[in-house]
Amino acid sequence: MEKELIIQALKDIRKDQAKRNFKQSVDLIINLQSLDLKKPEHQVEFFVNLQNGKGKLNKICALVGPELKDEAAKVFDKTIEADQFDKYAADKKAQKKLSEEFDFFVAQANIMAKVASAFGRVLGPRGKMPNPKAGCVVPPKLQLKPVYDKLQKTIRVKAKTSLAIQVPIGSEDMDDSKLLDNYFNIYNTLVNALPLHENNIKSVFMKLTMGHSYRIL
């Protein structure tokens, strides 16, 4: 895809936008075709590490045992220890609030069964369960700061029930060159993951969080 088309789309989405009291994301919308999502091999789910970050911090919650609780408390935005799991398991409203507040959940590997039992019913359907593919399931002896830092640049790309994918490539205050790098980072990874590669791409749009979408393919 021509870089000029993407640069023009970035200019277009910033035109005539009403001033917002928050920093908007630049969202990439990709519509797929010629896929049967009932077939597991046609479903899409992977994690991308954006080289320039997404312009906003991810909020990350740690679900840990005694081995990691002290370090997790220093590194993550919230830490829930194993002996607190029962309290959350009995309070679905509290779990729902957690799922809405945090972008990723990191769990200690040797207590994953407890994590699944306590949080699976709420986090599972929302795609928030700790995922080893994203590096969110960690051994009980590990430096956690690199995990936190990597997840700040990580996004999830998914098409399991719908042929439309919408993901952030950055924020409106980022340079076009950085947004362009992030765009190709996601687009090329997706194309390589699809069975028919670019033939599975139907259309591509870009928009700000509260703005109109502009077609680039």
Whether the Cβ atoms of residue 186 and residue 48 lie closer than 8 Å to each other: yes
Give residue 32's identity as a one-letter amino acid code.
L
Q: Is 135 left (phi over 0), alpha (psi -120 to 50) or beta?
A: left
d(CA 198, CA 83): 48
Query: 3-55+154-215: which CATH topology?
Result: Ribulose 1,5 Bisphosphate Carboxylase/Oxygenase (3.30.190)
Predicted confidence (pLDDT) at residue 18 exceeds the cutoff of 80: no
Superfamily of domain 60-151 in the CATH hierarchy: Ribosomal protein L1/L10, domain II (3.40.50.790)
pTM of the model: 0.90
Residue among 48, 11, 10 nearest 27 (CA): 10
Axis-axis angle for helices 112-123, 92-101 (nearest 10): 90
The 10s digit of each residue's pLDDT in 23-81 is 899 999 999 999 999 999 999 999 999 999 999 999 999 999 999 999 999 999 999 99
- Given this model, what pLDDT does residue 121 score? 96
Domain locations in the chain as residue ranges: 3-55+154-215, 60-151
SS3 (DSSP) at 105? strand
